[in-house]
A and B are shown apart, each in its own frame.
Chain A
Amino acid sequence: MMTRKSRRTFLKGAGALALFPRPALAQGAGPKVVVIGGGFAGASAARFVKKANPAIAVTLVETNPTFTACPFSNGVIAGLRPLRAQQFNYEKVAEAGVTLAIQAATGVDAQAKSVTLSGGTSLPYDRLVMAPGIDLRWDGLPGYDERAADIMPHAWKAGEQTLLLRSQLESMEDGGTVVISAPANPFRCPPGPYERASLIAYYLKTRKPKSKLILLDAKDAFSKQRLFQNAWAALYPDHLEWVSLSKGGKVNAVDAATKTLKTDFNDYKADVANVIPPQRAAAIAQTAGVADRSGWCPVDPVSFESKLVPNIHVIGDAAIMGAMPKSAFSANAQAKVCADAIAKLLGGGTPAEPRLINTCYSLVAPDYGITVAGVYKPADGVLADIQGAGGVSPIEAPQETRALEAQFADGWFKTITAEVFG
């Protein structure tokens, strides 16, 4: 058996031979994989397809030359870290042999198997990976559109919106009211609204102690709920109030001009309003025909090939992954499984049944981390929890455990971003 190194050396030799007229080895004659979306799912998929088989020509299509990561961006909002700590580029992805197309994907022709780019060119593919992430549904909450988001930021795509929410918090006078609206399931990063509420409450407690945060929720239950609620009772009893669905927490409409969030029972007038609206798979998924009526993309749980359109695989937040949540960890884990499956399929093989892990760290305070984990396998056409595995951090635990999980959270961010972009 050859080691990986000797294989790579061998491939260099094969590449050199391509100078001779051997058609199947000529430039561009290998199988073609196009990846749409350069986030945790797409950038990982591009790299790992190339790693699985360097003979595959891989093109990554991404609009933005700089990636801004959502995990840990709640720390930016709370003033705990700079936005640049969230930002990465595609240099190493390109060095790994992936061709970059810094353009928007505007169309997918599943019959012709090609992707149209904003520049007008089209890219043929043998297999297409779609990892376009989410779109905010501007028709999902009356009063909330793109212009309203300039006044009441969502900050659910990291970047300018993150900085806008942060600067609004910084400008707010002590004694102000911050209101967050959290959507119904499913949405990107299930524990995200609760981590955000926690870290903003931390900011208020330490910087603007007469202020308060109200979290209006369209749900009665959420990820890591008891852990969050116990921590809030201990750390932020005067600064954070959660209003559940059954207590009238569902926001039915907003008025950006007055920063008002309207529920069945109350109008909440905010000094700073963070509206996290309903979401769906990004528009290109609808264009390609891989999204169903739910707005999300059903996939085979072994290869992540679309259940609606052949030769297109969907991974990350845009996909319906059964029990697996929409997280960066999940996206990266799915990408690696998908990459191996594609390499197998292009070689005429059959992908093996996978196992996937998810781990989500949340910070309740800078030195207080909590987690949820899961292990998944295909069952009944979706990814299902492996019973007896996974779950959340212990409900009762000493502060040292919480501090250790906060350190591991920091290590996780460095690891996952190095895995994808480093």
Chain B
Amino acid sequence: MPMMRLTAAVAIVLASPGAALAADAPAGAASCRGCHAANPRVETPVPPLNGRPAADIASEMIAFKAGQRPGTIMDRIAKGFSDDEIRAIAAWYETQK
């Protein structure tokens, strides 16, 4: 019953009033939005990441890292992340709106 479910959910909130409610972003993901705008109305030549297929983001980052894709700055930043870290960040951005 909907009412019972809501009550159960409220009980969870009561039990842990400080629990993070948004899905945890993987390490490093929050920094990306310093340049890749979360707000689609921002006028910038830097492409947004929100909602992009994870496979695309990951393959581009891994290519930047390997020096196979020319970039002004992403080649330097990509080298700070393992392929697994890149895939985790990419998967998270795919789910972002």
Contact = CB atoms under 8 A, between A and B. Distances in A.
Nearest to B46: A411
Given A357-B34, A422-B39, A340 B85 contact: no
12 contacts: A5-B97, A22-B14, A55-B17, A354-B27, A355-B27, A357-B80, A373-B73, A389-B81, A408-B45, A410-B44, A414-B42, A419-B39
B66 interface: no
A347 B72 contact: no
A353 B20 CA distance: 16
A415 B6 contact: no
Given A354-B28, A401-B72, A412 B22 contact: no
B28 A415 contact: no
A408 B20 CA distance: 33
Given A4-B22, A55-B13, A416 B80 contact: no
Nearest to A393: B72
A128 to B, nearest CB: 15
Contacts, number: 174
A54 B20 CA distance: 9
Q: Which 8 A-B pairs have the closest CB atoms?
A: A375-B80, A411-B44, A346-B18, A389-B80, A355-B28, A357-B31, A336-B30, A347-B19
Interface of B: 6, 9-10, 13-14, 16-25, 27-28, 30-39, 41-46, 72-73, 76-81, 85, 97
Interface residues of A, number: 67
A31 interface: yes
Contact of A52 (B6, B22, B79): B22
Given A355-B85, A375-B81, 14 more contacts: A4-B97, A31-B17, A352-B27, A354-B28, A371-B73, A374-B80, A375-B28, A389-B76, A389-B80, A411-B43, A411-B44, A412-B35, A415-B35, A415-B44
A348 interface: yes
B34 A52 contact: no
Interface stretch (A7-15, A170-178, A212-220, A312-320): A7-15
B20 A347 contact: yes
Given A333-B31, A333-B34, A336-B31, A412 B21 contact: no
A404 interface: yes
A416 B31 CA distance: 11
* Interface class of chain B by DSSP: loop
A161 interface: no
Contacts of B6: 13, 17
A218 B73 CA distance: 30
Nearest to B36: A415
Contact of A4 (B9, B23, B24, B43): B23
A358 to B, nearest CB: 8
B16 A11 contact: no
A148 interface: no
A288 B18 CA distance: 25
